[in-house]
Amino acid sequence: MSVESSKSFKFTFQSSVHSSHVLQCLNEQRKKDLLCDVTVVAGSQSFRAHRAVLASCSDYFSARVSTHTPESIVINLPDEITSEGFEPLLEFAYTSKLLFTKENVLEIRNCASVLGFRNLDKACFDFLLPKFFDSNRGTFFAQNINIRVRHGGSVVCTVASQ
pLDDT tens-digit map of 84-99? 999 999 999 999 888 8
Give the whole-angstrom CA distance, residue 35 versus residue 112: 25
Measured in degrees and rounded to the nearest 5, phi and psi for residue 40 equal -110, 125
Helices (H) and strands (E) in the chain, counts: 6, 8
Per DSSP, 68 falls in state S
Instruction: Quote the pTM value.
Output: 0.76
Residues 130-144 have a mean pLDDT of 56
Residue 14 pLDDT exceeds 80: yes
Residue 135 pLDDT exceeds 60: no
Q: Does 129 or 156 have the greater pLDDT score? A: 129
Q: How much is the pLDDT for 35?
A: 95
Q: How much is the pLDDT for 99?
A: 84
Residues 149-156 have a mean pLDDT of 51
Q: How much is the pLDDT for 130?
A: 74
Q: What would the pLDDT profile of 99-132 be if each residue is shown by its tens digit? A: 888 788 888 989 999 999 987 766 567 767 777 6
Domains of the chain: 17-120 (3.30.710.10), 121-161 (no CATH)
Q: How much is the pLDDT for 139?
A: 47
Per DSSP, 75 falls in state E
Residues 56-63 have a mean pLDDT of 94
Alpha-helical runs (H) found in the chain: 18-31, 51-57, 59-65, 83-95, 105-115, 122-132
Give the whole-angstrom CA distance, residue 134 versus residue 124: 18
Q: How much is the pLDDT for 6?
A: 62
